[in-house]
Structure 1
Amino acid sequence: MQEFFENVSRYPRYLISLILGIFIAFFERLKPFFENPLSAIALTAALVASLAFLFFTMRAMLGFSVV
């Protein structure tokens, strides 16, 4: 029974390392775009626009309103 709980306690560490690995790999691929100022501005604008689109879409789908 001790081995079972030992194995279960490893899963959160595995999940954290998996998520960090995905983010590191993603940002390593985007790093060359940040060397040129024009492409850095375009990439940042595209990122902000996608997050805004996602925010407003989810807000409309869930029926939240400011009024």
Structure 2
Amino acid sequence: MPPQPQPPRKLEDQFVENVSRYPIYFVTVLLGGIWAGLQPFVNLYRKSPMAGTMVTLGSLLLLLFVYFTLRGMTGDTFLPGWILRWGNPSGGLS
């Protein structure tokens, strides 16, 4: 006796199965993008550790420069508020 064919799946089941794949796809794309962005730095560190360190340090300094420039352009203080309140429990400047 041949096996009975299964009835076709409902469209809702197919939709849920398809949508449930998206988080895995998102994580995969995110990790691949991070890896592709870090790969040049990894190759540079392997070739010349000093050059890799200098490029990394320069990149961090550039990001800090842009951060503090944008903070200054918006009228914020040079230092973040939590640093200004650190030694002063009242919250104001000493």
- Same topology, TM > 0.5: yes
Larger RCO (CA under 8 A, 6+ residues apart): 1
Q: Bigger radius of gyration, 1 or 2?
A: 2
Report the counterpart of residue 54 of structure 2 in structure 1. Answer: 42
What CA distance in whole angstroms lies between the structure 2 residues aligned with 1:61 and 1:10?
43
1:21 and 2:35 equivalent?
no
Over 3 Å counting, the alpha-carbon distance change for 1:43 and 1:10 in structure 2 is same
1:20 Cα deviation from its structure 2 partner: 0.6
With normalisation by structure 2, the TM-score equals 0.55
Higher helix share: 1
- Give the count of matched residue pairs: 67
Q: TM-score w.r.t. structure 1 length?
A: 0.70
Q: Percent identity?
A: 31
CA RMSD of aligned residues (A): 2.3
